[in-house]
Amino acid sequence: MTLKYITRTVWILSLVSLFTDTASEMLYPIMPIYLKSIGFSIVLIGILEGVAEATAGLSKGYFGKLSDHSRRRVPFVQIGYVLSAISKPMMGFFIYPLWIFFARTIDRFGKGIRTGARDAILSDEATPQTKGKVFGFHRALDTCGAVLGPALALLYLYVYPQDYRTLFFIAFIPGLIAVFASLYLKDKKQTALTEKNVISFFSFLGYWKGSPLIYRKVVIGLLTFTLFNSSDVFLLLKAKESGLSDTMVIGVYIFYNLVYALFALPMGIIADKVGLKKIFIIGLTLFATVYFGMSANANIYVYFGLFFLYGIYGAATEGISKAWISNITDKKDTATAIGTYSGFQSVCTMLASSLAGLIWYQFGATATFITTGIATLLVVSYFLIAIPSPVANKTATNESIRRPR
């Protein structure tokens, strides 16, 4: 039975992520509307999101390295979730641009602090043969928050139309529940490091040079894909331009997250049996199919079909990629490895959305989606050729994790 592999710690972390994501996703659909209502221009919204994501991206690697160095995980997780929780009401209190920038950055900074440590805890709670299940279970509950959040926001706005500011205070409630749940987490006893080296903010970049070759190969492929994997906003914008109402657009977004949540654990179970790499490649193939389909579609029923496939893609890639990384790196460097990847990933995500926006502006939506689809198939070819399959579902051998001298 699959749930026997899910420990108390995994349950707590998954529930913490569920409540935090409920709070965040409650605000995601209305954030651009709210910011425009208080005087933010499209350009200023773009700058705000860029600064926020850059903050999260750069801090993930540093705090992942710091977690590994200190041999502690839980304090990083708890502080990260506290910052994300308090940022919600902060955005509702004042409407001054500098305050909004500060509050949004605090939210993303919290994500940067907790990501590497949290994923390292998940990795420590699993064996190489159960990583897919554990990460899949966590992603399933996390994504349930992406279903509950927008649904609650829709329900509230149906009763109180355009009362956006109150939602920021309501979102504080699930965020606070997540913080209290995180208090039940306990660090495992580990031998402290004898050396007291100071960790500089960019010291995690040194890990890249000394990391296992297989890690660098896998991450290069993942980051190349990320460069073309723009924000989901572009998919929703295409659906909106095709004639879907605002309610239907949010509805299709909720549907996508529901599919993602339902398939995350099954995909993890299958990945543990057939290999993490195989499932990840299947996920990328589905992603390419969705983007090729979006380039030509204008039918509401086809959109629901494409977002169904998009949900399976998410289930087959997000948790799987981190499980894969944790299996090909040394256990003592797990947070650094995942944090370094997540940091680079955030930067690439920013560039991806900028690139997609530029192509859309110059050549139209169809060109944007076709370009992304073709690039994804090239990444699939890279993984098939450059990455040996056995590494996907086995413990990293001494050879694979040996550092170059």
pLDDT tens figures, 244-281? 777 787 788 889 989 999 999 999 999 989 989 999 99
∠ CA 89-94-95, nearest 5°, is 115
Domains in the chain, ordered, with CATH?
Answer: 10-184+204-395 (1.20.1250.20)
Tracing tokens 């903010």 back to the chain, one arrives at 201
Q: Does pLDDT of 397 surpass 50?
A: no
CA 388 to CA 382: how far, in whole Å? 11
What local confidence, expressed as pLDDT, does residue 2 receive? 61
Q: Find the mean pLDDT for residues 283-287.
A: 96
The answer to whether 52 and 108 are in contact (CB under 8 A) is yes
Cα dihedral 396, 400, 401, 403, rounded to 10, equals 180
What local confidence, expressed as pLDDT, does residue 404 receive? 37
Q: Measure CA 293 to chain center.
A: 24
| DSSP string of 178-204, one letter each residue | HHHHHTT--PPP-PPPS------TTTT
- Binned at pLDDT 50, 70 and 90, residue 241 comes out as confident
| DSSP letter assigned to residue 387 | S
| DSSP string of 24-73, one letter each residue | HHHHTTTHHHHHHHTT--HHHHHHHHHHHHHHHHHHHHHHHHHHHHHT--
pTM beyond cutoff 0.95: no
Cα dihedral 41, 44, 48, 54, rounded to 10, equals 140
Closest CA to 225 of 386, 389, 352: 352
Q: Does pLDDT of 402 surpass 50?
A: no
What local confidence, expressed as pLDDT, does residue 286 receive? 96
